[in-house]
Amino acid sequence: MEFTDASKTYGSVRALSGLSVRLEAGETVALLGPNGAGKSTTLDLLLGLRTPDPGGTVRLFGTTPRQAVTDGRVGAVLQSGGLMEGVRVRELVALGCSLHPRGYPPEQVLATAGLTEIADRRVDKLSGGQAQRVRFALATAGASDLLVLDEPTTGMDVASRQTFWAAMRDQAAAGRTVLFATHYLEEADEVADRVLVLHRGQLLADGSAAEIKAMAGARRIAFTLDAVPDGRLETALRGLPGLTRVQLAGSSVRMRSEDPDATVHALYGLGLYPRDLEVAGLGLEQAFLTLTDRAEAQDGPDAAPSGHARPAPSARPAHEKANV
Ligand SMILES: Nc1ncnc2c1ncn2[C@@H]1O[C@H](COP(=O)(O)OP(=O)(O)OP(=O)(O)O)[C@@H](O)[C@H]1O
């Protein structure tokens, strides 16, 4: 599975810009990026739903994405995938299995997706999370070699999500490649062997979650002061060396620093005695924010082509509770 210098332009918007990346069999790969970074476009190219601009190519299993899909080598869960109305879950899943060149028995697919209990329900009467499980069942209706998942667990509750990822681990263990776009960074951290970070249509980072965290470089510093800092002290705290973010909540202080040794040294230099001092590496979520903030600062706010959204934390459950 290989993208070679693949770009995609929609009118004046360059959604993807010269992507070159190769996915290996059996890898579980997370595709991360702020809103509008080009994730869905990347997946659409991989599925043959769109073609790259002239000069770039996308190849799957030695052929075109379209041919690979026709051959049943690719299964997909797409954000926009509508489900056929007026049929029951069992009927739809059976249809998916029968259409797949290497389809599995429907009862097995229903069980794996956790749908056996609601197999006789009409598809148009399902909750959002249940409908998502049906999409997952359709994506795994046969022996595909690549699974492409666009925000696959959106709307699922915690238990369904765990079932979903357990099934995906089984798929990867069976040698399948799983590529998923997500805004749940915890999932990417837990599940993916490899993380690709897209930003404004370009590949910003490619590595394991640990490598991405190391690439961000920064560390978290957290401590508590004896009292709520006054204005002067607050200014002094914000001026400590190495800081990229500061968050003050009463006497509790959280910082992100690219030079934690210098920050902590200078902190003591202010004559403070911080309690519960913690210096820790970034989680994948904070590393992601650091990398995309940094790229944003380098590009400048005007660098985005028209139509590109800036990162919108509201769309990302993981980011809602993002802290420094
Ligand atoms: N059919 C289209 N016509 C015009 N612009 C488009 C079209 N599809 C996508 N875009 C633009 O291309 C850019 C990349 O969009 P894409 O959907 O690939 O991003 P994404 O990373 O999947 O975003 P999100 O996280 O919001 O789903 C965005 O600026 C988007 O507005």
Q: Domains for the chain: give ranges and CATH numbers.
A: 2-213 (3.40.50.300), 218-281 (3.30.70.100)
Say if residue 273 is exposed, middle or buried (CB neighbours under 10 Å; 0-12, 13-18, 19+): exposed
Q: What is the pLDDT of residues 136-147, one digit of tens each?
A: 899 999 999 999
User: For residue 118, what pLDDT is reported?
Assistant: 96
Is 311 a pocket residue for ligand 1 (Cβ < 6 Å)? no
Backbone angles phi, psi at 271, to 5 degrees: 80, 20
* Residue 35 token pair: 């809103």
d(CA 20, CA 254): 38
Inter-residue contact 256 to 244 (CB < 8 Å): yes
Measure the N-to-C terminal CA separation of the chain; round to a whole number of Å.
37
User: For residue 58, what pLDDT is reported?
Assistant: 97
Inter-residue contact 17 to 201 (CB < 8 Å): yes
Q: From the CA of 38, give the closest atom in ligand 1.
A: 18
Is residue 54 over pLDDT 90? Answer: yes
Q: From the CA of 312, give the closest atom in ligand 1.
A: 26
pLDDT class for 318, splitting at 50, 70, 90? very low
User: For residue 250, what pLDDT is reported?
Assistant: 93
How far, in Å, from the CA of 201 to the mean position of ligand 1?
A: 9
Q: From the CA of 181, give the closest atom in ligand 1.
A: 22
Alpha carbon nearest to ligand 1 atom 17, residue: 40
Q: From the CA of 304, give the closest atom in ligand 1.
A: 29
d(CA 118, CA 128): 14
Is residue 314 over pLDDT 60? Answer: no
Is 64 a pocket residue for ligand 1 (Cβ < 6 Å)? no
Q: Is 207 helix (H, G, I), strand (E, B) or coil?
A: strand
- ipTM over 0.95? The verdict is yes
Question: Nearest 5 degrees, angle CA 51-CA 53-CA 56?
Answer: 90
pLDDT, averaged across the chain: 87
Nearest Cα to Cα of residue 19 among 197, 192, 213, 195? 197
User: For residue 301, what pLDDT is reported?
Assistant: 58
* The model's pTM: 0.79
Alpha carbon nearest to ligand 1 atom 30, residue: 36
Is 161 a pocket residue for ligand 1 (Cβ < 6 Å)? no
Is 17 a pocket residue for ligand 1 (Cβ < 6 Å)? no
Q: What is the pLDDT of residues 208-240, one digit of tens each?
A: 998 998 888 888 999 999 989 899 999 999 999
Can you list the alpha helix ranges (DSSP code H) found in 208-322? 209-216, 231-238, 260-269, 284-299, 317-320
pLDDT class for 154, splitting at 50, 70, 90? confident
